[in-house]
Chain A
């Protein structure tokens, strides 16, 4: 069993991270009834005897004493991290695994990347090495950040290069929150494009998310639950946005529901690696199967069902609905429509009381309405995990490598060009040492190349499939 380390950067990253750790603790608490520190828990937590001062406190087996998250928390202002350390999760984080500053990055990628990057490089390396040492077999770094700000975007992507150099064998999975249309940060296009270049070059796999989609999903759930149509039949803990059963009842913060969705995404992504099932899928299989070419590593994700009804015996019709929903554009975590674009590959990760026949039946049912690239007509990767998420009887995470990400990137480029043509706000960046206009032009051309690749694939959609003659065997 392997371990993963979560690196949460900036306000967005840390807030999502907080929801994630809360959920993962609850999940393991529900599964691990005996309180024994087992391999599943060890993937995200260390077992520590807190009475021992210093580093000697790690315990590898036996009863759980005190769980410490395998996490590194980074933020260039103190507010968010302090709040976490005073909240119900304070004991889960190791106070030595924090890097904070006071002034923040001012929504400036250059400050986050160049200034704080060089300032904190040594410290970051030290914390990362420490967390790697605590792992028996480290497989993956999960980085959570936003693209539009300064710290998450700048320092978060600086990290990627550091990770690539220091731990070349370990996967880098990045969960990036992209700015929506009505983003409140004016410089977010600059920050995002500069960050995109780093993601293109140094990430193994990126899961783009945007706030607008998360918000739409929440609204839909609220509408359904409050409309009274479902009444008492919806299980209270089963909303994908719910943090019911959290340690302390606290006033729900505005982004909590949205962050819970992203936290669920990360949980479901790793569930088949942590828990048993009849068809396991480890994290290293994700990029092996879903990334046909190194540059095309952006995966559109969708989580269904959004809530489970109290009915335990799920009729096949409802299961099938779950599969159909996974492909609808309303359930994707970014503004994208995979059904009307071209699939390079698709992964279906099922949890709970779903069997292989349900999976095969739905693949065959949905296949005719989806377009796959000519050289990967049966591009499905499937996995079955027996352990359902907390409060649900079953769930499905669909990851698609699909050309429907292109519009997001095109729009981002347009917003960037609108600002850049006027050179608006540029001086804030250029006055940072190490920043030049070429940084901007390189970033844009990197994005343009990526868009070009997706366009080329789209162009093959309507082309007839060429039957390339096979090699003949010399007799």
Chain B
């Protein structure tokens, strides 16, 4: 089954390009560490999901590119074409001229309705080229104007028009120290809308990925391109083909459906995060070897202590001792040390993957009281290695990881909204003229 990707705004389009590039180059890499037949099956499965074929053979990404100004789309299209390996559909993009001015309202209430028909038509065309549709993967930022506002609008439309297909939104959480002044407003408006219309929100925080680039990849001058490549690697490790069952040699057909089934048992909890290990620069990779035991031990502790990467993990954090009553309402002011999960999915790829022992993830103490580890925890193992890593593990989790950043954003947005009213009326009692301006 196929996934149609919708890339929205500058962020969505820049990331989307890196994702397709990673998916393609991995599926055509010679370092799969498996038989030729196996590799061909992997390639075919990846292609079915993400690419389609045209007459002259260059695969075309199953994607629709949307932006309210032309520069980024032009850049993205030409970068893909330049690679010579794959490209975007010629008529698969929609753009306007003026941009959204970082204004969520513009994206949602002006650009959305105005361009609804054209954009939905484009998506329809792409959907018609799929034999069967697994669902939509929508890539957007929440801090800007187009990705956030128009993204919320389009997701809602997809819910109305394709109610039987799944929608997974990849959202980018902005830097805590600010990249857009109105980012908090835009973020909360987007999240509140997406929560109703999306099936799952896969969250990537700029701060976290930035740290990975700095500490693990050892990049001195980190560009957005570097950040997006790390992101693409993480997404690739989740979305590339995996065997449908333990011991089977068929790749699963419905990636989105299976992800949702394993990770979103309750519709009120749909925020997912990805952690992966190992993550390092190409130079270091050549000199490193790993064991599954070591990798999984680190991954488990990353989950428990809510670390985003394998360096600087806090090993002091431990799950609560089972038998004791579950921790009640945790005050947000207290340091949230232990990260409780609702569901976890571990995806393992590479050498000797069958020997990996995942008992550590089945500890009931990791999970909430209303789910058994048997239901809450799943593992997908695939022999074929990913992106030249001899062994790699990705953990997609539905856990408390986003509480603190979410609280911060809501707090700042509220502060900005409430303080201004406060300042105008209570602190300075000025008489107002008819327009409400202080005289």
Contact = CB atoms under 8 A, between A and B. Distances in A.
B315 interface: no
Nearest to B423: A460
A290 to B, nearest CB: 7
Contact-size category for A: 35 or more
A355 to B, nearest CB: 4
A124 B227 CA distance: 50
Given A355-B222, A378-B412, A466-B422, A279 B179 contact: yes
Contacts of A288: 101-103, 145, 182
Contact of B419 (A285, A360, A466): A466
Contact of B415 (A275, A367, A375, A460): A375
A contact patch SS: mixed
Interface string B213-238: 11000011111110100000000000
Given A278-B14, A280-B10, A376 B414 contact: no
B205 interface: no
Nearest to B415: A375
Interface in B123-182: 145, 175-182
Nearest to A38: B74
A360 B211 CA distance: 11
Contact of A382 (B145, B179, B410): B179
B99 A282 contact: yes
A470 B332 CA distance: 14
Interface stretch (B29-37, B53-61, B64-72, B192-200): B64-72
A452 interface: yes
A26 interface: no
Contacts of A364: 177
B428 interface: yes
B179 A380 contact: yes
B438 A137 contact: no
A330 interface: no
B68 to A, nearest CB: 9
B121 interface: no
Contacts of B103: 284, 288
A382 B178 CA distance: 8
A84 interface: no
B71 A374 contact: no
Contacts of A295: 437
A462 interface: no
A293 B219 CA distance: 40
A136 B74 CA distance: 18
B322 interface: no
B286 interface: no
B69 A1 contact: yes
Contacts of A139: 98
A358 B219 CA distance: 12
B227 A356 contact: yes
A357 B419 contact: no
B293 interface: no
A364 B207 CA distance: 12
A453 B438 contact: yes
Nearest to A467: B415
A282 B101 contact: yes
B418 interface: yes
B439 interface: yes
A345 interface: yes
B419 A468 contact: yes
Contacts of A470: 410-411, 414
A211 to B, nearest CB: 31
A468 B415 contact: yes
Given A1-B97, A278-B223, A382-B179, A375 B420 contact: yes
A468 B418 contact: yes
B207 to A, nearest CB: 9
Contacts of A358: 221
Residue among B102, B210, B439 facing the most chain A CB atoms (10 A cut-off): B102
Contacts of A39: 70-71
A20 B222 CA distance: 33
Nearest to B176: A378
A380 B223 contact: no
A456 interface: yes
B25 interface: no
B438 A345 contact: no
B416 interface: yes
Contacts of B420: 292-293, 375
Contacts of A2: 69, 97-99
Contacts of B145: 285, 288
B1 to A, nearest CB: 34
B322 to A, nearest CB: 30
B283 to A, nearest CB: 19
A285 B214 CA distance: 29
A284 B175 contact: no
A360 B177 CA distance: 8
A115 interface: no
A289 interface: yes
A1 B70 contact: yes
Contacts of A285: 99, 101-102, 145, 180
B412 A377 contact: yes
B75 interface: yes
Nearest to A374: B419
Contacts of B177: 360, 363-364, 367, 378, 380
B438 A379 contact: no
A358 B214 CA distance: 12
A449 interface: yes
A459 to B, nearest CB: 8
A355 B225 CA distance: 10
B57 to A, nearest CB: 30
A374 B182 CA distance: 14
A377 B214 CA distance: 25
Interface in B330-378: none
A108 to B, nearest CB: 30
A136 B99 contact: no
B415 to A, nearest CB: 5
Interface string A276-309: 1011101011001110110100000000000000
A327 to B, nearest CB: 16
Residue of B74, B180, B210, B416 contacting most chain A CB atoms (<10 Å): B180
A381 interface: yes
A279 B10 contact: yes
Interface string A339-363: 0000001000000000111101001
A452 B102 CA distance: 30
A289 B180 contact: yes
Contacts of A466: 419, 422
A308 to B, nearest CB: 18
A375 B185 CA distance: 12
Contacts of B222: 355-357
Contacts of A377: 412
A279 B181 contact: no
B177 to A, nearest CB: 5
B214 A357 contact: yes
Contacts of B72: 276, 280
Contacts of B423: 375, 456, 460
Instruction: Identify the 7 closest CB pairs spanning chains A and B, nearest first.
Output: A284-B101, A378-B178, A357-B222, A375-B419, A380-B178, A278-B224, A289-B181
24 contacts: A2-B69, A278-B224, A280-B69, A280-B72, A282-B98, A284-B101, A284-B103, A288-B145, A289-B182, A356-B223, A357-B214, A357-B220, A357-B221, A360-B175, A360-B210, A364-B177, A375-B415, A375-B419, A376-B181, A376-B416, A380-B177, A380-B179, A382-B178, A460-B427
Given A278-B223, A381-B178, A468-B414, 18 more contacts: A1-B70, A2-B98, A137-B97, A139-B98, A280-B72, A282-B99, A284-B98, A285-B145, A289-B181, A355-B221, A357-B220, A357-B222, A360-B177, A375-B423, A379-B181, A453-B438, A460-B423, A468-B422
